[in-house]
Amino acid sequence: MRQQIESVIVYLCTALLIAAFVTRLVTRGGPYFARPQTIVDHVGPGKHETRDALVLLPKVEKLIPRGAEVTCFRPIEGTANADDTANFYTAVGQLPRQQVQPPFTAMLTVPTGSLVEYVVAVGGPFDHPAYRVIAEFPEGRLYKVER
């Protein structure tokens, strides 16, 4: 009798653990049987704030010369977002051959001669009179300063 009770308890605990595991997989979203595109695809049910940058940066890296100064941010109403540390630090890690500068180096208040050479705008457009678009992707745009 005791062995039967132990077996039932083991089966119940196993069923609870499997249910918890399946619930966790479902709440984090798919793809379940395919390799995710980025490392943050299964962090939570929503889209992670750095996902677009992780997809965009390898594409623009090929267009930016080695050693060039670049910054990366998600523009707010077309202007530089100095508080976007998530996308800035993502660029620091994804662009090791370039010199990644903080987002405030592309603000309207910076003199034209001191502006960062390239801007990776994640998501929306970047409206700065000194920059022109050199490449567009679904995740964002690459800009270059005109001096």
Describe the crossing of helices 51-61 and 85-94 by its angle, rounded to 10 degrees: 40
Range of the domain at 107: 51-145
* Within-domain flag for 46: no
* Within-domain flag for 25: yes
Cα dihedral 7, 10, 16, 20 in deg (nearest 10): -150
* Within-domain flag for 44: no
Predicted TM-score of the model (pTM): 0.80
Same domain as 88, residue 58: yes
d(C-alpha 33, C-alpha 91), whole Å: 29
pLDDT tens-digit profile of 56-105?
Answer: 999 999 999 999 999 999 999 988 888 899 999 999 999 999 999 999 99
Q: Are 87 and 72 contacting, i.e. CB atoms less than 8 angstroms apart?
A: yes
pLDDT tens-digit profile of 106-136?
Answer: 999 999 999 999 999 999 999 999 999 999 9
If you search the block for the tokens 């270059």, which residue do you land on? 144
* Within-domain flag for 132: yes
Q: How many domains does the chain have?
A: 2
* Within-domain flag for 88: yes
* Within-domain flag for 42: no
Backbone angles phi, psi at 59, to 5 degrees: -70, -45
* Within-domain flag for 87: yes
